[in-house]
Structure 1
Amino acid sequence: MLGPPPVVPLRPRAPRPTALPTPRTAKPNTDPTTTTTTTSSTASAGKAATMGAAAWWRRALGQRLNPAGVAAVAAVAASEPRLALPHVSLQDIRWLDWAELRHAGFRGVVFDKDNTLTAPYVPALWPPLADAFDQCRATFPPGALAIYSNSAGLKEYDPDGVDAKVIEAAIEGIHVIRHDIKKPGGTAKEIESYFGCSASNLVLVGDRYFTDVVYGNRNGFLTVLTEPLNFANESYIVRMVRKLEAYIISYWYKKGHKPIKHPLLPDARRIVKFDPYDDSSGSKSIA
């Protein structure tokens, strides 16, 4: 069985990362260039491509109050904690080896939006992720990348798909899946219908244990957990919930719980690249 999700080493080890990390605490991506870039990007993108004040408040309120998420914590805690444990945990998508994922048989990638691909409430891609996203887009066939969000595309908060269209215009090659039920509730029927395959052939990338990871594991995805990109527009309540989630997950790891096995990827370390910030690391190219 897999141990805890694979570590992202700061320096290369031959031939692949061999250790598995202790559960991480919830903290932002701390690249100083990223912080500077995103502060201005958040401000400009929020003004230039605003989704409307009313939509912003609906989305913000929706992310603060997620009854399905609360129920998921109780259900997972009472029955199967491993549903909240990701197959892979790393800083952000720059550590993912898209070519290895494709080689393993995965047919597409489903991303959460806020704090996974973009800053909260911003439609444009987080600038430091541009190269990694381009590599992902080049590796998978056209139409094989999508966003499944608890805001944009969710009919409760985006009934006309206006937010979804703004994001699709801002991030080339991404499709925002329209759906009815907030994660972690619901099935993967809308996603499977869009991709034309089982969820077990797809990767789900998100930044929350009890929404993205629980939803993904319940429905058979390969689950990848990333750290939040930026806390600037995230509410105090959400930040506190992140800390609670990290505490619970850490406790479960210490109790010996393991992630669910995925049939396409027995060894999740295969898809973890070396440190993308270190040009001397000899990281594999993704072609």
Structure 2
Amino acid sequence: MRMPVGQPPQAVRPTCPRVRFSGRTVKLRFLRNISIQSTRSVVQATGMARVQQNFNSAGVGLFFRLFGGGQSLALPHLAVPDIRFVDWNKLRAAGFRGLVFDKDNTLSRPFALEVEPRLRGALVHCLAAFEGRAVLYSNSAGLKQYDPDGAEARQLEAALGIPVLRHEDKKPGGGCTELEAHFGCPASDLIMVGDRYLTDVAFGNRHGMLTIHVQPLTSQGEPFGVLLARRVEEFWVARWTTAGVDPPSHVRATYTSLQDFIKEPSKGSHPPTVAAATSGTTAVAAAMPPDPASEN
């Protein structure tokens, strides 16, 4: 019997009228139906969680507060196409001690459980430069509201090979107690890397990290709410940059020459975005000499 596409197989009742069903057969069929219904409930719950995840109350609240001042929180210290264009060795030499990565559209395509193939070499290189001191800080996996038992976090850790930090609040909300405890250093020694201005960049800037904005890897697979929010963010960040707003000052970086943190692109690659017309922000960056007090 051919079953409808997309539906689980159902038990087929024999057409012979003389066939009798025993109590055991009825019990097994009942348990099987319960199992199918439970599976559907889990799938529906996961889908609902993703729908709810599209709304970020902390991000929306921050966006409206920025109109009253503090627009610099949404502006990154560095803006590059992707992680291949960052000189991770120089960042490590400047005294930074850990990397905090967003996942979707930063290291992988939305909801994918693998690193984007063209970024694998760069990720290996930056992890080597920081001796593996990196975590994923996601608004889904590891967030106790949506991943209370850490199942999705464990799945990501197994797939990507990078620890997923368990935390209480969505970016840009919440503190960074978990991050500082994980790395054993102040947040100012950490680097936040992500593709969203009002979540990743704003979160990092709020806590004094160096922030790096990367262009999203793809728009395919992104929820409509995320696409819309991204357009709004880019529009206002471009306007604030044009108006002369700078990122927050950083204890290990000045506005004079952060270009040292950007690598020359390889042949055939697009150059890093330095102008606001391309990236929505100016890539300002300058490495200060390593702080002897921070070298333990």
After TM superposition, give the deviation of residue 150 of structure 1 in Å: 0.3
Per-residue deviation, residues 228-275 of structure 1 (Å, max 9, x unmatched): 112211012211211111111111112111111211122321111111
User: Which residue in 2 is equivalent to 1:150?
Assistant: 139
Q: Secondary structure in 2 aligned to 1:176?
A: coil
Q: Matched residues in 2 for 1:95 and 1:55: separation?
A: 39
Overall identity of the aligned pairs, in %: 43
CA distance in structure 2 between the aligned counterparts of 1:77 and 1:224, rounded to whole angstroms: 22
1:133 partner SS? helix
Q: Name the residue aligned to 1:73.
A: 63
Match among 232, 253, 256 for residue 244 of structure 1? 232
Structure 1 residues 58 and 197: CA distance shift in structure 2, 3 A: farther
CA distance in 2, matches of 1:102, 1:110: 14
C-alpha RMSD of matched pairs (Å): 1.7
Distance of 1:189 and 1:54 partners within structure 2:
33
Task: Say whether the 8 Å CA contact 1:108–1:203 is kept in structure 2.
Answer: yes
Aligned-residue offset at 1:62: 3.4
User: Structure 2: which 5+ residue stretches go unaligned?
Assistant: 1-41, 272-296
Q: TM-score, normalised by structure 1?
A: 0.76
The 1-side partners of 2:216 and 2:266 are apart by: 17
1:112 aligns with 2:102: yes
Distance 2:52 2:267 in 1: 35
Which residue in the other structure is 1:222 paired with? 210
Give the structure 2 partner of residue 265 of structure 1: 253
Aligned to 1:182: 170
Distance 2:136 2:213 in 1: 15
User: In 2, distance between residues paired with 1:262 and 1:168?
Assistant: 31
Query: Could you tell me how far apart the structure 2 residues matched to 1:214 and 1:227 are?
Result: 16
CA distance in 2 between counterparts of 1:54 and 1:193 reads: 35
Candidates 192, 195, 199, aligned match of 2:180: 192
CA distance in 2, matches of 1:55, 1:224: 34
Deviation beyond 3 Å, 4+ runs, structure 1: 52-56, 276-279
Number of aligned residues: 227
Determine which structure has more spread, i.e. the larger CA radius of gyration: 2
Contact 2:55–2:225, Cα closer than 8 Å, also in 1: no
- Cα 1:79–1:101 change in 2 (3 A) is same
Per-residue deviation, 1:56:
4.4
| SS of match in other structure, 2:253 | coil
Question: Residues of 2 paired with 1:81 and 1:219: CA distance?
Answer: 15
C-alpha displacement of 1:176: 0.3
1:110-168 CA-partner distances (Å, limit 9, x unpaired)? 000111111111121111100000101111123x1100010110001111111111111
The residue type equivalent to 1:175 in the other structure is P
Q: In the aligned structure 2, how far is the partner of 1:179 from the partner of 1:167? A: 15
Alpha carbons 1:56, 1:121 under 8 Å: kept: no
CA distance in 2, matches of 1:201, 1:58: 37
Bigger Cα displacement from structure 2, 73-82 vs 205-214: 73-82
1:169 aligns to what?
Answer: 158
Separation of aligned partners in 2, 1:223 and 1:204 = 5
CA distance in 1, matches of 2:118, 2:103: 15
User: How far, CA to CA, are the matches of 2:172 and 2:67 in structure 1?
Assistant: 14
1:276 positional shift: 3.3
Aligned CA distance change for structure 1 residues 54 and 165 (closer, same or farther; 3 Å) = farther
Query: Residue 116 of structure 2 corresponds to which residue in structure 1?
Result: 126
- The alignment partner of 2:219 has SS state of coil
Determine helix, strand or coil for the equivalent of 1:146.
Answer: strand
> How far has the Cα of 1:193 moved from its partner?
0.7
Q: Which runs of 5+ in 1 are unaligned?
A: 1-51, 282-287
Task: Work out which structure has the larger RCO, using CA pairs closer than 8 Å and 6 or more positions apart in sequence.
Answer: 1
